[in-house]
Structure 1
Amino acid sequence: MPAKLSVNLNAIAMLRNRRDLPWPSVTGLGQIALEAGAHGLTVHPRPDQRHIRFSDLPEIRALIDDAFPQAEFNMEGYPTEEFLQLVEAHQPEQVTLVPDDPAQATSDHGWDFRKHHDVLQSVCMRLKDGGFRISLFADGDADREALELAKDAGADRIELYTGPYGGCYDAPKHAEELLEMLGQTADIAHKLGLGVNAGHDLTVENLPPLAARIPNLAEVSIGHGLTADALIHGMAETVRRFRGACGDL
């Protein structure tokens, strides 16, 4: 099965928020993405609402429920009480927990599963009681012990942080090394029974080798590169291009 594409709407929301105007429409572009075959929509609502606003969440939930019931809503964030209440209010199919400081510009590392095991286990128990699938953000070089702890904490999946791999767009030799590292981590996760997602700085160019090295890749969540391409190709064609890069066309 090809990796499924979830379109991260944060960059669209950040552009909208430059003005006190309703465009570009976050839900409107989300609808175009889903019509073009995206599997789902991802958001990362930060406490300062600098991109996705809390008021966007019920609109995205309603868009999926009313018009695309086969699609998934993925909410990503640091597990504060505020974030967990947003999750419980808007019922995403998947919750991706990241270790970000709320002031960070973007996610840039995975969880330290040894240090944060007990906290993650408590949060995962609460989310499991709500029936949510849980994905935990993981570094591309996470070892077996770390992934065992992620599974023990309650993860259904990990999301591999692919930022360093995406950052090697001009260094193909290093990109190959990082790709193999990501692949080895994914291999361990699969042996442990964890699903594997991936996200950060993925592009039409670097997705095919990632999908080839991790043939059981479940999902990729893509925002920045996809939004940048949409400025050139339009959202619908960009989604088709990214689906093709995943092997889904």
Structure 2
Amino acid sequence: MPATLSVNLNAIAMLRNRRDLPWPSVTGIGQQALEAGAGGLTVHPRPDQRHIRFSDLKPIRNLIDDLFPHAEFNMEGYPNAEFLALVEETQPEQVTLVPDDPAQATSDHGWDFRAQHALLKEVVGRLAGQGFRVSLFADGVPDREALEMARETGAARIELYTGPYGGCYDTPERAEEIAAQLGETARLASELGLGINAGHDLTVDNLPRLVRHVPQLAEVSIGHGLTADALIYGMSETVRRFRRACGQTV
């Protein structure tokens, strides 16, 4: 079954935040994406609220509940007390835990499942116990022992960090090598019972290769490249293009 497309709204929110004005509308653009067939919406509310604001969360939750009940809301973040409180208040279908320092511009690595196992087991237990599907950001290195430790936290999925893959846009041979590594990591994780998501610097051009190497892919979360394309094609057509790149029939 083709991977679901979740549209990350952070870049839309960042553009809005350049002025003290309500446009572009985060929920309005999110509605366009869902009307075009996106399977869900993703946000990463950072402590400084430099893109998604905490006040955006309830309107996005209401948009999905009221108009798109089969879509999913995915919240990403570092599991500090503030983020966990936001999750429990907002009630997303999926929580993606990332090991970001709050000062980072964007996510740039996966969890060290050995060093941070105790933290993750505690947090995943708290979230999974409330019915949230939990996904853990993971480097695309085929390390079975690390993946076993990820599974032992109780997480349902990992999200493969595809930044290095996306960075090979001008070196196809290297992109093929990294895609193969991601595929092997996904194979090992799948054998251990973990579902597979992916995200970071994915584009219409590089998605098909990733899909070939990672047939287990359940979901891709895409923001930067999708938003950039939306400036050219519009959000609705861009979502359709990315859905086709995921292997969906549009």
TM range (shorter): over 0.9
- Report the equivalent of 1:196: 196
Q: Kindly provide the CA deviation profile for residues 210-249 of structure 1, in whole angstroms up to 9, marking residues without a partner as x.
A: 1111111000000000000000000000000000000012
SS of residue matched to 2:179: helix
Q: Residue type of the partner of 1:140? A: G
User: Normalising by structure 1, what TM-score?
Assistant: 0.99
Query: 2:112 aligns to what?
Result: 112
Pairs within 5 Å for 1:52-91: 52-91=52-91
Q: 1:89 and 1:45 mapped to 2: Cα distance? A: 13
State the percentage of identical aligned residues: 77
In structure 2, C-alpha distance between the alignment counterparts of 1:207 and 1:172, rounded to whole Å? 13
Name the CA distance, whole Å, in 2 between partners of 1:128 and 1:78: 16
Alignment deviations for residues 61-81 of structure 1 (CA, whole Å, 9 cap, x no partner) = 000000000000000000000
Q: What is the alpha-carbon distance in structure 1 between the residues aligned to residue 236 and residue 154 of structure 2?
A: 36
Contact preservation (8 Å) 2:128, 2:155? no
| TM-score, with length taken from structure 2 | 0.99
Partner of 1:219: 219
Which residue matches 2:177? 177
Q: Deviations over 1:95-114 (max 9, x none)?
A: 00000001100000000000
Moved over 6 A (4+): none
SS in 2 for 1:193: coil
**2: CA distance between counterparts of 1:213 and 1:181?**
9
Distance 1:152 1:215 in 2: 24
Determine the C-alpha separation between the residues in 1 that align with 2:240 and 2:162.
Answer: 21
* Partner residue, 2:126: 126
Instruction: Say which SS state the counterpart of residue 232 (structure 2) adopts.
Output: helix
Q: Which position in structure 1 is the counterpart of 2:148?
A: 148
Q: What are structure 2's unaligned runs of at least 5 residues?
A: none
| Structure-1 residue corresponding to 2:25 | 25
Residue type of the partner of 2:60? I
Tell me the amino acid that sits aligned with residue 63 of structure 2: L
Q: Does 2:83 correspond to 1:44?
A: no
**Map of 1:248 onto structure 2:** 248
In 2, Cα distance between the equivalents of 1:127 and 1:213? 31
Q: What root-mean-square deviation, in Å, do the aligned CA atoms of Structure 1 and Structure 2 show?
A: 0.5
The answer as to whether partners of 2:142 and 2:181 remain within 8 angstroms in 1 is: no
Q: Residue type matched to 1:15 in 2?
A: L
Shift of 1:138: 0.1
- State the aligned residue count: 249
Superposed, 1:2-13 pairs within 5 Å as 2-13=2-13
Structure 1 residue 142: Cα displacement: 4.3
The separation in 2 between residues aligned to 1:235 and 1:103, in whole angstroms, is 29
Distance 2:186 2:35 in 1: 30
State the alpha-carbon separation in 2 of the partners of residues 183 and 214 from structure 1: 5
Offset of residue 154 of structure 1: 1.2
